[in-house]
Structure 1
Amino acid sequence: MRMLSALTLWVGMTVTALAADPILIGLNYPRTGHYKEEGLAQMRGALLAIDEINAQGGVLGREVSLITRDTASRPEKAARNVDALVDQGAAMLFGSVSSAVAVAASERARQLNTLYFATIGYSNDVTGANGHRYVFRESSNAAMTGYALGHYLSTHFADKSYFYITADYSWGHSSEQALRDNTNTTDTSKHKGVLLPFPTAKQSDYTAVLKQAQESNAEIVVLALYGHDLVRAMRTAETLGLTKKVQIVAPNLTQSVIEQAGPGLMVGVIGTEHWLWRAPEVENSATGLAFVENFNQAYELYPPSAAASAYTVVKQWADAVQRSNSLDSGAVINALEGHEYSLLKDAAQWRAFDHQNIQTVYVVQVNDREAVMAHPSRQDYFKILERFEFDQNMQTFEQWQADRAAAGKPNKL
């Protein structure tokens, strides 16, 4: 009887200790400023993943709890947030939409020996020239999207003239270059381009660059712009009558951009997505379909790619912790490197040499209003034109090494 009482007391104390001692993970995301819509989606995806993990017993027998900081999409603020989140006890950090934020925050995390997942951040630099041992990126990079989009355009829009309007920062530059390389449009005298100031572009800047595109008589206008910048450019293009005269291409199209601009404005635009809520149907992914249903039930919305990326990060981190039986960043990194999995679509892999998530990329086109409204959700924004699996679209080790060498970085993380 005395032994039973002692055991009961020990169990009670253990349960109480576990309940009071959760594992903290830190979301460093844009709650305000540029890309706040993608930031909100990341928060929602992360919370859904944490709820599911805790309902299944947590990680290493402990519940997981989320702590957050607002980056406002400013790199210096994101780096300071890393210190605050680590001081609070975060075992892992994730977040970002801007590539510059991902680079700054992950570098500070490296200095603190803390694992950082760049949830989104499409510039090659994140896992390329600025990559290091402590950073992993869930979303596709510019090389992957450039390959997929470039091959589609080369097949279906052969021998067309291009004009590039590019955001003047690392993502814009790498996206333009990747698309030029894969569409045979590297001759800038024939396929002209212009830079748009980032992040300080004025309306006069949008008007000026789009008038140059109009005067070029190009058949394809590439808007290597993202988020709010892409929305403003599309509104200006419509005002100038450009949307009805040319094929507009945007390397990274997202659900949040369509919702900000309105699907009517974006009809016919071609781009890429690394995940969309139709993907689980295409790939026959049971867990992906469940995620779409659960997200819709929780938030009365269909999930965008930003939500899927955050959900994947949290689930994959938890899986790596369980497999390594450790919260130590080094042990979790070892468990992630080279790990192949299927979660919300088909197979993906955390590539060992650069920590890039290699995965299927979808070439998509924005549906017309009739198609959008035909679905009960009123959110069927994209038609999938083609899919490129990771063994088709990935950057090679030799290409990665060349990028590192050009930046004066070592040829391994």
Structure 2
Amino acid sequence: MKRQTLALVLWLGLNAGALAAEPITLGLNYPRTGNYKEEGVAQMRGALLAIDELNAQGGVLGRPLRLASRDSASRPEKAVRNVDKLADEGAVMLFGGASSAVAIAAGNRAKERGLLYFGTLTYSNDTTGKDGHRYMFRECNNAWMSARVLGQYLNKTLPNKNYFYVTADYTWGTTTESSLRQTTHSQDSSRHPGLKVPFPGAHLADFQQALDQAANSQADVLVLVLFGEDLVRAMGIAEKLGLNKRLQIVAPNLTQSIIEQAGPGLMAGVIGTEPWTWRVPALEKSTEGQAFVKNYSERYQGYPSSSAASAYSIVYQWADAAKRSNSLDSEALIKALEGHSYSLLKGRQEWRAFDHQNVQTVYAVKVKPRGEVMKDPFKQDYFEIVDRMEGAQAAPSLDEWHSERRAAAKSTLLQ
């Protein structure tokens, strides 16, 4: 009994010491306002849950974690200023973003400040492709990975169809459209036309004009390379035009937040991809993933989205690298992360050494009918997983990455 009491006193003393130590600051650069704000809220929630769990375990290197955050509003210039503010607050690493333009710009500034930047929602190929560097790590999949699993599913279920593309005119939109055209063999723009809409700042008139042209085309498949509120607004116009009844609508990157904003009735039948849904841990038999779903649901009274899972995973992966390297130094952390393989919220994942892309399974999903969604206790059972592709098959190869870098006159070694 005395030994148990002594052990308890020592444990309490060690944890009290950890909590009394100088906190380690992690910096979240996320959209609290703007088109992607719902994805931003999910990132904040996932990050806070991870930090609270780690602090309950004694923190990292004997020190508690704290979160500092800044609103990027999905604007690159604001996100860059946030990097400086967070660095000046003492942040030892940065993460976040629901826009690839934001992640790329903020990541470049983080490199100048000697800080790692982990991209949460940044699907552009450029993030770890032509614009990749040593200080950038992308947790989610890239556009190629989405396009490959989507192409596999669409070629199988909708072969030889005509496509029409409506695309947000920035790095995520253009690289996503290009990738999907290749995997669905829809490169011929005379047969498979498309229009670009401004980003940010598209107006309803921009979406109306683009969708009027889609309605007057010979398309069988309407690809909306849009995200967040832009996708929601476009879907509202598509419904008024009856396009969701006439055409198969594809939105390459779906999130739980998008379905919540639009409503499952409007989004029913839309096909896209997700790197993670709350159903994935049970599918992949991930004990830690199922615990995350349970803890998040109890805390926030709703299921975690891929946005929340990404932020949660990044905090845990950074903490794991810090513990394995016994350091907070960026160079030591880079070495600890490169080539590191792990399982956390689903199956095996790896931080690939040559481009810092997280290689993981990607899922093709289809939004369930509203009636099915409403049967769920939280009314958030949105996605049917209709196909999957292992990360090694989906991710660009080293040769493909080299070709992309050479085409952009960039080094084939991250710098």
1:237 aligned residue: 238
What's the offset of the Cα at 1:134? 0.3
Report the 3-state secondary structure (helix = DSSP H, G, I; strand = E; otherwise coil) of the residue aligned with 1:297.
helix
Q: Indicate if the aligned counterparts of 2:167 and 2:224 stay in contact, CA closer than 8 A.
A: yes
Distance 2:148 2:52 in 1: 36
| Gap regions ≥5 residues in structure 2 | 1-8
Q: Which moved more, 1:107-116 or 1:401-410?
A: 401-410
For each residue in 1:162-201, what CA deviation from the matched residue of structure 2 results, as whole angstroms up to 9, or x when unmatched?
1111111111111111111101111111111111121121
Partner letter of residue 134 of structure 1?
Y
Instruction: Report whether the alignment pairs 1:223 with 2:195.
Output: no
Partner letter of residue 108 of structure 2?
E
What's the offset of the Cα at 1:281? 1.1
2:205 aligned residue: 204
Distance 1:202 1:288 in 2: 39
2:57 aligned residue: 56
2:331 aligned residue: 330
Report the 3-state secondary structure (helix = DSSP H, G, I; strand = E; otherwise coil) of the residue aligned with 2:216.
helix
Alignment of structure 1 residues 13-412 onto 2, 5 Å: 15=16, 19-412=20-413
Q: Indicate if the aligned counterparts of 2:21 and 2:64 stay in contact, CA closer than 8 A.
A: no
What's the offset of the Cα at 1:205? 1.1
TM-score normalised by structure 1 residue count: 0.96
Report the 3-state secondary structure (helix = DSSP H, G, I; strand = E; otherwise coil) of the residue aligned with 2:77.
helix
Distance 1:148 1:271 in 2: 9
Aligned in 2, Cα 1:263/1:132: closer, same or farther, shift over 3 Å?
same
Report the 3-state secondary structure (helix = DSSP H, G, I; strand = E; otherwise coil) of the residue aligned with 2:33.
coil
> What is the CA RMSD across the aligned residues, in angstroms?
1.5
Distance 2:130 2:68 in 1: 30
Distance 2:404 2:230 in 1: 27
Aligned in 2, Cα 1:62/1:300: closer, same or farther, shift over 3 Å?
same
Q: Indicate if the aligned counterparts of 2:94 and 2:115 stay in contact, CA closer than 8 A.
A: yes
What's the offset of the Cα at 1:361? 0.5
Q: Indicate if the aligned counterparts of 2:115 and 2:135 stay in contact, CA closer than 8 A.
A: yes
Report the 3-state secondary structure (helix = DSSP H, G, I; strand = E; otherwise coil) of the residue aligned with 1:93.
strand
Report the 3-state secondary structure (helix = DSSP H, G, I; strand = E; otherwise coil) of the residue aligned with 1:91.
strand
Partner letter of residue 29 of structure 1?
Y
Distance 2:13 2:375 in 1: 54
Partner letter of residue 399 of structure 1?
E
Distance 1:110 1:396 in 2: 25
2:4 aligned residue: none
1:3 aligned residue: none
TM-score normalised by structure 2 residue count: 0.95
Report the 3-state secondary structure (helix = DSSP H, G, I; strand = E; otherwise coil) of the residue aligned with 1:374.
coil
Aligned in 2, Cα 1:208/1:343: closer, same or farther, shift over 3 Å?
same
What's the offset of the Cα at 1:392? 1.7
Tell me the matched-pair count: 404
| Gap regions ≥5 residues in structure 1 | 1-7
Report the 3-state secondary structure (helix = DSSP H, G, I; strand = E; otherwise coil) of the residue aligned with 1:257.
helix
Q: Indicate if the aligned counterparts of 2:18 and 2:59 stay in contact, CA closer than 8 A.
A: no
Distance 1:254 1:37 in 2: 10
Identity of aligned residues (%): 60
Report the 3-state secondary structure (helix = DSSP H, G, I; strand = E; otherwise coil) of the residue aligned with 1:94.
strand
